[in-house]
Amino acid sequence: MRIVVLGSTGATGRQVLTVALERGHEVVALARRPDALSGVTHGNLQVRQADVHDPETVTSACREADAVISALGMTRGAPAGTLSAGARAIADAKPSRVAWMGSLGAGDSLHRAGSLYDFILRRVLGHGFADKAVADEAVAGPRSTVFHPVMLTDGPATGKPRVVPLDFLDRSWRLMPPKVARADVATAMVTEIENPAHAGRTVVVF
């Protein structure tokens, strides 16, 4: 399968690259600064320059793919609307399968992550908080799965991520949600692309 990965230079995006390549997929990593992936080499990896604020660079790559995985995040100083620009660029390509990473506590999962976490998330994301909800809505559709992971860590994979549709989640956290390894989130997203079980839904990963 040919998979395009957005946000490939970030901590979660790099884990997505690792998992997808280990499973034998052909991977196209989109990066605003391709040199940031100069140390990542693999026979099935192609690194292509793209910028969500030049949407055709993203849309054209996504049109050539079997599936798209986005681990696009908000970096300090990023222009307003970065996430929604990426989501719209993907949606315009109409790929067959999409796995999009949002955030627990934003968009459809607002107030589900805990009051303290809500406060922290809003402070950290600033204008990006509202944009997360806009982005989720822009990319949502019958072929898309929106992932809302709990607190992300750089710890080792457990190999047992729980993926639960938000509609079926039987809990909300009072102050702070639990933690999940980025590697486990990456595994869940690649698995969903390979065998869609939650297309058209928002899911929580923990």
For residue range 161-197, list pLDDT tens digits in order.
999 999 999 888 989 999 999 999 999 999 999 999 9
For residue 74, what pLDDT is reported? 82
96-120 pLDDT, tens digit per residue, is: 999 999 999 999 999 999 999 999 9
CB 131 within 8 A of CB 81: yes
Q: State pTM to two decimals.
A: 0.96
- What pLDDT does residue 61 have? 98
The three-point CA angle 20-95-67 to 5° equals 10
Three-state DSSP at 27 gives strand
| Enclosing domain of residue 53 | 2-205
Q: What confidence tier does 160 reach under pLDDT thresholds 50, 70, 90?
A: confident
CA within 13 Å, CB half, 206: 20
Q: Which of 174, 168, 177 is nearest to 197 (CA)?
A: 168
Tens digits of residue pLDDT in 125-144: 887 899 999 999 999 999 99
| Average pLDDT score over residue span 45-62 | 98
Distance between CA atoms of 58 and 30, rounded to whole angstroms?
Answer: 8
Average pLDDT over residues 37-63: 98
pLDDT for 76 equals 67
Residue 73's CATH number: 3.40.50.720
Q: What is the mean pLDDT of residues 18-44?
A: 98
Q: How many domains does the chain have?
A: 1
